Amino acid sequence: MFEYCADRQRDHGYRREDWLHVAQSQYHDIATASRLGVATCWIERRAGKGGFGATPTPQEITVPDYHYPSLAELWAAVERA
């Protein structure tokens, strides 16, 4: 998926360094995007709750560039900026 997006975005002059990948899953998204050099924003919807819900437990937590408990909190941060 990331390679597909990279190819499409490259056609419009964007590079991975221009992206912000916003997602809930540490396992599927945050770790992979970080490894590929994409800035990340983890929406930790399960903040304060045990486990990772329906997604597999990651081997380790990847520290994201941004971290919010909800999309509403992300939006509030964008508005403040």
Chain segment 16-36, per-residue pLDDT in tens: 899 999 999 998 999 999 999
Locate the domains of the chain by residue range: 2-80
42 close to 23: Cβ distance less than 8 angstroms: yes
Between 79 and 47, residue with greater pLDDT = 79
pLDDT of residue 33: 95
Model's pTM, two decimal places?
0.85
Predicted pLDDT of residue 54? 80
Average pLDDT over residues 65-72: 97
Any alpha helices (H) in the chain, and if so which ranges?
2-10, 31-35, 71-80
| Residues 55/26, Cβ–Cβ less than 8 Å | yes
Whole-angstrom distance, CA of residue 46 vs CA of residue 14 = 32
Output the pLDDT for position 56. 84
CATH level 3 topology of 2-80 = Rossmann fold (3.40.50)
Residue-level pLDDT at 68 = 97
